[in-house]
Structure formats: structure tokens, C-alpha cells
Amino acid sequence: MFFLLSKLLLFFLSPIWWVLMLLLAFMVFNNFKKRRLLLVLAIGILIVFSNQLIYYQVSGWWEGELEKSESLQQYEGIILLGGFSNYRSKSRRIQFTRSSDRLLQAVRLYKEGKANRFIFTGGSSRIIIREKSSGEFLKEYLVLLGIPEDSILTEWQARNTYENAVETWKLLKAEGISDKKFLLVTSGFHMKRALGCFKKVGIDVTPFKTDALQGNVPPEIWECFMPSASVLATWELLFKEWVGYAVYSVKGYV
């Protein structure tokens, strides 16, 4: 039930959705005394949440700086969280999404000798349509990249971050390595919630953030006054993460 409710709640966490609802209300409620306020609010949301400088500052505050690989120690394994790929059954191909930097950075860390093995966690988050989960096809892909099969552990039961932590702990416990130190690789905006969940279940993890939402450099002066459609759309990721972190805190997951 919690999983289903969380999906329904996230539907409303988009500034674009807020603007559309306000504009719809503006057109429908002709007799509303403060009808003009609805239009002002819609325009205000568009201006604020499409501003590149505001987004740059807020995303940087939430994510923090990316870690340097040179400062990392030797770890038992790299825990890689899914959510960056899906499987297209008709073409029998893996399709990677914007968060695929998780995979690229994790492979790099392994090749640099930072860990002895891969632990991949990620199932399907679809509610109605059953799709092939990431754990079922990512192991084959890692082998193609040159990772020895006997050094890859996968689980594909988890549907959210909390279940990622729980199912990974079960996997590590079964392998007799639950007391070892691990690198946790996931997106920068998602790291605080993931780190809290994994530490809560008793896994000793060191964070390694990837695919930061904050740009490499601050926007140019002229960009600060130019609305950005991509920035407006990307706020949804932060809002979902903030609500997710708040709900996990209430439920005691982090």
C-alpha cells in the first residue's frame, strides 16, 4: 500500500502540473473574486522554477560536491543502485536513461581497483505492467564490460530505496560479508536518502555521488534572466526526493 500511495503522491510534485492547474482554474472560475491572483501565481511559478541561477544554487545545496575517487580507500564491493536503465523486449536491447552515469562511474571505480566486487540492486518499479527488472539483465551487461561473473552479486526484488537497502543486506548476509565496508553509488540528488537507508539497516557504506543536477559552472549573467524549460522540468526530481526523504524519516527508514 505504501508503495502505491507513494507513486500516486509523486504525480502532483511537478511545477508544470501546478501551472496547468492554476491556468485551468483561472479559465473556469469566472466569478472568483481573486481570479487574477491565480494567473499571477501561475506566472510566478513559471518565472521562479525556470530560473537557472535559483536551480543551480538549490541543487548544489542539496547534493553537495562530488567525491574524488583518489581519496577513496579499498572496499569489499561497490553497491550500485538501479534506476538508470530498462529493457526493450521487442528489440532485446538495454536502454539507458540520464542516470546511467551511475553505471559508468561504478565501472571506473572497479577498474581502478577500489573494490573487489559489484553488488547491483534494483527491480521493477512499475505498478501495473510487468517489465524485466534491471537486475535480470545488468549482470550480463557487466560481464560484457569485462567484470568477472563470479564477482557480481545482483538482486531484483527491490522496488524502492528502502527495499534496495533491505534486500542488499540480505544478500550480503547470505554471502557472509555484511560486516565489510562498501562504496554506495547513486545519483547526487538521491544520495542522502539512499545513504540513510543503507546505514539504517546496518551496512557500512561510503557515498560516491554521480550525475549531479547542478551544472559544472554557474550560469552566465544573461542565462540568469532567461527562462529554461529543462530547468522547469527537472525541479520535479528534487521535489520527489525531498518528499521521499521526509516520508522515509517519518517511517524511520533513514
b/e 24-54 (16+ beta carbons within 10 angstroms → b) = eebeeeeeeeeeeebeebbeebbeebbbbeb
Query: Residues 79-97: pLDDT tens digits?
Result: 999 888 887 778 888 888 8
In this predicted structure, what is the pLDDT of residue 139? 85
Examine the domain organization and report whether 51 and 122 are in the same domain.
no
If you write DSSP's letter for every residue of 99-143 in order, what string do you get?
GGHHHHHHHHHHHTTSBS-EEEE-----SSS----HHHHHHHHHH
What was the pLDDT predicted at 129?
40
* Same domain, yes or no: 115 and 172: yes
Residues 140 and 56 grouped into a single domain? no
Contact partners, residue 130, CB within 8 Å, separation at least 6: 124
pTM summary value: 0.87
Report which residue type is found at 136: E
Closest CA to 210 of 111, 61, 63: 63
Look up residue 203 and give its amino acid: I
Mean pLDDT, the chain, whole residue set: 88
Predicted confidence band of residue 10 (pLDDT cuts 50, 70, 90): low
Domain extent at residue 169: 69-210
Tell me whether residue 215 is in a domain: no
Element (DSSP H or E) covering residue 3: helix 2-10
Give the pLDDT band (50/70/90) at residue 140.
confident
Cα–Cα distance, 99 to 7 (Å, whole number):
19
205 with 82, same domain: the answer is: yes
Give the Cα-Cα-Cα angle 94, 187, 160 (nearest 5 degrees): 75
- Structural domain count, the chain: 2
Assign residue 156 the CATH number of its domain: 3.40.50.620
How much of the chain exceeds pLDDT 90, in percent? Answer: 60
Q: What is the pLDDT of residues 194-217, one digit of tens each?
A: 999 999 999 999 999 999 999 888
| Residue 42 cell numbers, joined | 501561475
Is 164 in the same domain as 94? Answer: yes
Give the per-residue pLDDT at 4: 53
Q: Which helix (H) or strand (E) segment is 185 a member of?
A: strand 181-187
pLDDT digits (tens, 9 = 90+) for 227-252: 999 999 999 999 999 999 999 999 99
* Complete DSSP assignment for 196-227: HHHHHTT-EEEEEEES-SS-SSPPPTGGGGS-
Q: Are residues 228 and 165 in the same domain?
A: no
Residues 171 and 93 in one domain: yes
pLDDT computed for residue 197 by the predictor: 97
Identify whether the C-beta of residue 128 lies closer than 8 Å to the C-beta of residue 8: no
Does residue 88 sit in the same domain as residue 136?
yes
Q: In sequence order, what DSSP letters do the residues of 18-46 get, joined into one string? A: HHHHHHHHHHH-TT-TTHHHHHHHHHHHH
Question: Is 154 part of a structural domain of the chain?
Answer: yes
**CA-to-CA distance for 70 and 72, rounded, in angstroms?**
6
